[in-house]
Chains A and B, each alone.
Chain A
Amino acid sequence: MKSSANKVLLSGNHAVAEAAIRAGCHLYFGYPITPQNEIPEYMSEHLPKIKGGAFVQAESELAAINMVLGAAATGRRVMTTSSSPGISLMQEGISYLAALELPCVIANMVRGGPGLGNIATAQSDYFQSTRGGGHGDYRTITLAPCTVQEIYDLTQLGFYLADKYRGPVIIQGEGLLGQMVEPVELKEPDKKDLPPKDWALTGAKDRPGRMLRSLILEEGILEEHNWKLNRKYLEIEKKEKRFESFRMEDANLAVVAYGSVARIAKGAIKRVREEGLKVGMIRPISLWPFPGEAIRKAAEKVSQFLVIELSCGQMIEDVRLALAGKAEVNFYGRPGGGVIPNPAEFGRVISRNYYQKVRKAR
């Protein structure tokens, strides 16, 4: 870690780890998988030096997520990280974490799939992260950074939201972002107004025993539990939507993209703006809850939307749901795993869309 003033140069993967440690997460459980191995390596070096810190290299992602479950049950901050195939293996545990309402942060440095895919960057886990992923009626807050600074900030926010709403939070990193090296300001985490962890298992000293359970056999009680979870999800939808609006003030065409793709699209938008095309972008930062209102509101002025993803089209479904037919939605995507588009490529796509759809309509 190189330091100059209050900024240091960090890779995206190291930023996840450093942000977590500074947020008071001194427990880490994980299993090696490329392209995120720098995170467990960093944790294995730093956590044993911290009092009460522990790093365990689990025997599998299945074990790792359940170690996270155990540590989270004690009320301490804990995290695991992995990449797509490993996150698939963790889905069982994530469902239990949601059911037991245990806070933790899980970073997924997404790589190409399906199956073993490859180790190059991708955005093909959008459905898995935003639709629950495991069995049952639940959601996970999913935050998608597009710079190393944002990886740092959102990881810390992730711990805050996990504690606030008692549940797992996913940092939807991407292989590309994990490897990228940028200056990062090491901010101090927000810990204000968090509810007391009066549910944590710490040993029943001077109090009755506590239980954490997701098996609910009594008649009608599981429905009640699910309604309770649902009320929490509705509150999150109301309060925790995050997005960035870029050059939307006079836009005739709105690009919708997240993560690294949004960053590349930004470059493309700057290019086509120089040619006089009025293009803006809405970048969802929280993938769930999805900032649908922002998109719906943009449709009051913009009739053309272009969704760009490093997948064959997953987030586009949320854009369509948000717009409910109020504007035309087009798509440009390439399956990830070896493809890194550049602003010139996106620029061509945006121009073509603009001339075919916006100009033609006039």
Chain B
Amino acid sequence: MKKVFERPRLLKPATFHFCPGCGHNILHRVIAEVLEESDFRERAIMIAPVGCAVLAYFYLDIDVTEAPHGRCTAVATGIKRAIPNSLVFTYQGDGDLASIGAGETLHAAGRGEKVTTIYVNNANYGMTGGQMAPTTMLNQVTTTCSAGRSAEREGYPLDMSKILASLPGVCYVERVALTSPANVQKFKKALRKAFQYQTEGLGFSLIEVLSTCPTNWKLTPVDSLKWIEEVMTKSYPPGVLVDRKANRGDSE
């Protein structure tokens, strides 16, 4: 009998600690697949964030370092400058990337560091128990905006991908919603492309993934997927925000 689906070799035989219905499981597997299907694995160095995904090194059989909260792209800069032909990627949540690490993210992107960021947006702080994040949408309820986020009281959410896409050092930004097998394939394709662009030295690349957090959203896994489709994508519409190589191709 032909085997059509198996655990990627780079995914260690460990049990994920993630909650049922969480998107991290899928993202980890896809990363392992992309690295395995290319020759990237031998050059890959991953920077894990502070947050639910900090334990990435228990799951992926590649070189992984942890970074202080928010500092992933600064650490990535140090690694890439030390080993320019390595494949360096960060894996960060929205609190890590858009709040405490907004400065490091903006400047690494601004400098056009040849690294890739996987930006997992679930519109709240997952690990600490569902507090408001910079990406929490207006009217969304969290444990620190229990009446729902109001522009007046808590201010507006931040769309980092949109900001970063405007920078000349950024070669590629795409947003995907992790809601269906087809969309998982979209993420996989985007990741492959981002790694390819990094290898070609085109600049900073980022893939934002709208991902589920059923525990803190207080929704079932299935309803969480619906919530991404019906609510999150309205504030954070999926699609390619910038692709300088493709654009360059068009204009040529």
Contact = CB atoms under 8 A, between A and B. Distances in A.
B60 interface: yes
Contact of A203 (B54, B83, B103, B107): B83
A262 to B, nearest CB: 35
A74 B81 CA distance: 10
Contacts of A202: 45, 63, 83, 86
Contacts of A116: none
Interface string B8-24: 00100000000000000
Contact of A214 (B66, B71, B80, B83): B66
Assign chain B's interface to a size class: 35 or more
Given A59-B104, A66-B104, A74-B83, A212 B54 contact: no
Interface in A87-146: 92-93, 96, 100
A73 B65 contact: yes
B223 interface: no
A288 B50 CA distance: 31
Interface string B168-199: 00000000000000000000000000000000
Interface string A57-82: 01110111011111111101010000
A29 interface: yes
Given A96-B68, A211-B64, A213-B66, A205 B78 contact: no
Contacts of B65: 69-70, 73, 100, 201, 211-213
B154 interface: no
B183 to A, nearest CB: 28
B44 A71 contact: no
A361 interface: no
A205 B40 CA distance: 10
A56 interface: yes
Contacts of A203: 41-45, 62-63, 83, 86-87
B107 A63 contact: yes
B129 to A, nearest CB: 16
B71 A66 contact: yes
B224 to A, nearest CB: 26
B210 interface: no
A74 B57 contact: no
A69 B65 CA distance: 10
Nearest to B54: A215
B107 A67 contact: no
B57 A59 contact: no
Contact of A93 (B44, B62, B68): B68
Contact of A72 (B50, B78, B87, B103): B78
Interface in B98-119: 103-104, 106-107, 111
A327 interface: no
Contact of B66 (A27, A56, A63, A100): A100
Contacts of B67: 66, 69-70, 96
Nearest to B87: A203
A59 B86 CA distance: 23
Contact of B78 (A68, A204, A208, A213): A68
Given A70-B80, A211-B66, 18 more contacts: A56-B77, A66-B68, A67-B78, A67-B81, A70-B77, A74-B83, A93-B68, A96-B67, A202-B63, A203-B41, A203-B45, A204-B61, A204-B62, A206-B42, A209-B57, A210-B63, A211-B63, A211-B64
25 contacts: A54-B81, A56-B77, A58-B107, A60-B103, A62-B103, A67-B81, A68-B78, A70-B76, A73-B75, A74-B78, A76-B83, A93-B68, A93-B71, A201-B63, A201-B65, A203-B42, A203-B44, A203-B86, A204-B61, A205-B43, A206-B42, A208-B61, A209-B62, A209-B63, A213-B66
Interface pairs A-B: 6 shortest CB-CB = A70-B78, A211-B57, A66-B74, A70-B75, A67-B78, A71-B78
